[in-house]
């Protein structure tokens, strides 16, 4: 969204201002490009902006976002492990996919604009990556020992899990885990739609 200078007494929503993160979604029914720029970029008065922010804050649900994000992290971990076992090759870019998956789940369920939603999503993305590695190693150990996956999994404890994760961690994992956390964070925030703006402008009342 290009920078505009609002008329006196009005404000625009800027994702780089304040402690909240707002991502203004593109309007599919865009106004014709030949119309004036200010007709395409509706301005909000201070009162309308405050009403919009209040509504967005009230609709946030960190608990639901965290729960659904955790489920997404586990689904991503399972997918990563399945691909690695099938190909016998660890595809690091799967970590990025986990970040996107978790972030999107947190966005849909949590409807968050506060930074905490991004932080939770980043942590869950890292958890999904670690779980994917753990599942993969557990499977290969079971295969090598002629045991079932569940038999090996039942013997895991905190010390063994830490040993597995640290012994299999490589320098490249720093990159991929970092990308997973980054995209998990960036994807987690709610997109403010034209309908949300219409409510602030009084068009939905």
- pLDDT for the residue 134: 93
Contacts of 106 (CB under 8 A, 6+ apart): 65, 66, 68, 69, 72, 112, 117, 120, 121, 124, 184, 187, 188
Average the pLDDT over 179-200 and give the result: 88
Are 93 and 31 contained in the same domain? no
- 7 has pLDDT over 90: no
Are 150 and 74 contained in the same domain? yes
- 200 has pLDDT over 80: no
- 160 domain residue, yes or no: yes
Are 36 and 86 contained in the same domain? no
Report the relative pairing of strands 191-192 and 23-24 from DSSP bridges: parallel
Are 101 and 135 contained in the same domain? yes
What token pair was written down for 44?
A: 């909000």
DSSP state letters, 91-112? -TTHHHHHHHHHHHHHHHHH--
- 70 domain residue, yes or no: yes
- How many domains does one find in the chain? 2
- 126 has pLDDT over 80: yes
- 4 domain residue, yes or no: no
Nearest to 118 by CA among 177, 64, 65, 192: 65
Are 85 and 112 contained in the same domain? yes
Q: What is the pLDDT of residues 142-181, one digit of tens each?
A: 999 999 999 999 999 999 999 999 988 888 889 999 999 9
Its domain, for residue 48, covers: 10-60+191-200
Are 71 and 121 contained in the same domain? yes
Average the pLDDT over 184-192 and give the result: 93
Are 95 and 28 contained in the same domain? no
- 125 domain residue, yes or no: yes
- 124 domain residue, yes or no: yes
- 1 domain residue, yes or no: no
**pLDDT-above-70 percentage for the chain:** 75
Q: What is the pLDDT of residues 54-92, one digit of tens each?
A: 888 888 999 999 999 999 999 999 999 999 999 888 788
Are 90 and 144 contained in the same domain? yes
Q: Taking the model in full, what pTM does it have?
A: 0.75
- 149 domain residue, yes or no: yes
Beta bridge partners, 44, equal: 11
Are 169 and 107 contained in the same domain? yes
Are 55 and 72 contained in the same domain? no
- 48 domain residue, yes or no: yes
Q: Which of the pair, 52 or 101, is modelled with greater confidence? A: 101
- 45 has pLDDT over 80: no
Are 74 and 174 contained in the same domain? yes
Nearest to 24 by CA among 36, 35, 12: 12
Are 19 and 91 contained in the same domain? no
């Amino acid at each position: 969204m290009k920078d505009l200078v609002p008329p006196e007494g009005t404000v625009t929503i800027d994702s780089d201002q304040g402690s909240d993160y707002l991502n203004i979604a593109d309007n599919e029914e865009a106004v014709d490009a030949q119309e004036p720029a200010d007709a395409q970029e509706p301005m909000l008065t201070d009162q309308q902006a405050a009403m919009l922010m209040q509504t967005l804050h009230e609709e946030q649900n960190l608990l639901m976002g965290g729960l659904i994000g955790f489920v997404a992290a586990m689904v991503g971990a399972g997918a990563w492990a399945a691909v690695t076992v099938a190909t016998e090759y660890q595809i690091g870019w799967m970590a990025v996919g986990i970040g996107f998956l978790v972030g999107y789940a947190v966005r849909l369920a949590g409807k968050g604009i506060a930074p905490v939603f991004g932080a939770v999503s980043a942590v869950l993305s890292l958890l999904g990556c670690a779980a994917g590695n753990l599942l993969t190693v557990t499977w290969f150990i079971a295969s090598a020992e002629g045991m079932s996956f569940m038999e090996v999994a039942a013997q895991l404890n905190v010390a063994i899990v830490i040993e597995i994760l640290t012994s299999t961690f490589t320098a490249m994992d720093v990159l991929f885990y970092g990308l997973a956390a980054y995209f998990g964070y960036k994807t987690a925030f709610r997109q403010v739609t034209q309908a949300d703006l219409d409510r602030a402008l009084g068009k939905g009342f």
